[in-house]
Structure 1
Amino acid sequence: MSSDSGPTGPSEPLTTDAVTRIVLRPIASPLPLGFFALGMGSTVLSSLQLGWVPTAQSEVLLLLVLIFVVPLQLVGGIFAFLARDAGAGTALLLLGAAWAGTSVTSLDSPAGEPVAAQAVFLLALVPFVLALAGASAQSKPLFAVLLALTATRFALTGLYEAGLGNALQVAAGWTGLGIGVFALYGGLALLVEDTRQRTVLPLFRRGKARESIEGDLREQLTEAQQEAGVRHQL
């Protein structure tokens, strides 16, 4: 029978700390970019819904959304995932793809007329955005409110596209302006926080989100071994 003993004594299994090293790369927060892009896109489309821009110029606004808003939200979403924030990354990428989809299909649809296919898409999107809002409410209530307002706007626009009346489009437009103001405040607050490394304008962070700003590095990395990309399975 062979022995487990070697020249230096009995062999012992290596601990995780002895064989694993987790390397994290600091990056700037992508949330200010995501907030500002969302606010810009929402405000621009509100100007169309409220009749401030002639319907004949709708293609120009939709192209601006595709060229300006969508890429910025997609970049923000990708970097949110790289920053290990699955909730923010999912929300920004989902909304960016939604802006892209609705803008492209609107370009191919008669200007100023409801489109039933758009109604199906927007109304189907609402519960998913609300789910993201619910998941964010425990730690980032400001982000949750922004997502809830966005879901409300999608619902109002979807009902208008279903042919239930122009009043719904006007309500969606005013809701979009509210989103723009809210996103402006949130993006500014996040940008100042990231610059000063402390909360200056209230963001109402709670739980893990608050610890991420006020806690030390050891607290930040305690659960890193359980995160996607480190653990063996998602």
Structure 2
Amino acid sequence: MTGPAPESASDEGTDPDRPAVRIGLRPIASPAPVGFMALAVATLMLSSLQLGWLPASERDHVSLVLIAFAFPLQLLGCVFGFLGRDIVVGTGMGMLGGTWLSTAVVSLTSPPGVIAVPTLGVLMLAVSVGLLVPAAGAATGKLLAAAVLLAASARFALTAGYELTGAPIWATISGTAGVALSVLALYGALALLIEDISKRTILPVFRRGGSRASMRGNLGSQLGSIEREAGVREQL
């Protein structure tokens, strides 16, 4: 999950009357680590409420943390994921950031004493299913990212069970799954951050296919299909 290569590709074309086209690529740092760190913190904060580590009176404070901390960092990861031509990171971080913001706003505007909010339950179910889309894309080459997104999908599905039923057992199960997701997201952030710094894989991230070639291949092989990427081709 790295940014564009620090080179440019040009296509002189086969038609002598067609002007040459030059494509400029801007190198960026991988946005995945900051997005995964935000996910780890956000899901841990929510789990702390669900497991009783924080009293229910802290719900508004947790919501403010989701708004002020998790949402902007995952928005940053979303924007730079798309700028880095990584649709998995861009889509996944965008969905997660929107989920934390929506959860926080609904919680802040709910009447005092309300334990479960069915609207949030429906949202969590929709997000759980929606996250399977970038997870499926990641499974083609970014197995660590796929694992994080699948774990997040399961976590939101369990949270939906709690929000729809209000049963304490669902809160316990969902909170435990949230802690496990936090650990997995922390590992993902660490592994990808070290990889981006060292420009080689140190901790296993389980790349394969084109994702592995992005770290081990040469620049020419990576730019071979750039003319067919969004923002370069004429139509999206």
Scaled by the length of structure 1, the TM-score of the pair is 0.91
Report SS of the residue matched to 1:27. coil
Q: How much identity, in percent, do the aligned residues show?
A: 44
The number of residue pairs the alignment matches comes to 222
The equivalent of 2:209 in structure 1 is 207
The equivalent of 1:86 in structure 2 is 87
In the TM superposition, what is the alpha-carbon distance from 1:88 to its structure 2 partner?
1.0
Q: Which amino acid aligns with 1:41?
A: A
Distance 2:114 2:176 in 1: 17
The equivalent of 1:57 in structure 2 is 58
In the TM superposition, what is the alpha-carbon distance from 1:194 to its structure 2 partner?
0.5
Larger radius of gyration: 1
RMSD, aligned α-carbons: 1.4
1:170 to 168, 172, 175: 172
Report SS of the residue matched to 1:22. strand
The equivalent of 1:34 in structure 2 is 35
The equivalent of 2:125 in structure 1 is 123
In the TM superposition, what is the alpha-carbon distance from 1:81 to its structure 2 partner?
0.4
Q: Which amino acid aligns with 1:36?
A: M
1:1-234 to 2 correspondences below 5 Å: 13-14=15-16, 19-109=20-110, 110-111=112-113, 113-163=115-165, 165-234=167-236
Distance 1:13 1:197 in 2: 39
In the TM superposition, what is the alpha-carbon distance from 1:13 to its structure 2 partner?
3.1
* Residue 81 to residue 142, structure 1, CA distance change in 2 (3 Å): same
Q: List 4+ stretches of structure 1 deviating above 6 A.
A: none
In the TM superposition, what is the alpha-carbon distance from 1:220 to its structure 2 partner?
1.2
Report SS of the residue matched to 1:233. coil
Q: Which amino acid aligns with 1:152?
A: A
Report SS of the residue matched to 1:21. strand
Distance 1:173 1:33 in 2: 22
Q: Which amino acid aligns with 2:134?
A: L
Question: Deviations along 1:23-65, whole A, 9 cap, x unmatched?
Answer: 0000111111111111111111111110000101111111011
In the TM superposition, what is the alpha-carbon distance from 1:107 to its structure 2 partner?
1.0
Question: Deviations along 1:104-150, whole A, 9 cap, x unmatched?
Answer: 10111144511111111111222111122122112011111111111
Query: Does the CA-based 8 Å contact 1:58-1:111 persist in structure 2?
Result: no
Question: Deviations along 1:75-94, whole A, 9 cap, x unmatched?
Answer: 01100100001111011011
Q: Which amino acid aligns with 2:158?
A: L
Scaled by the length of structure 2, the TM-score of the pair is 0.91
Report SS of the residue matched to 2:106. helix
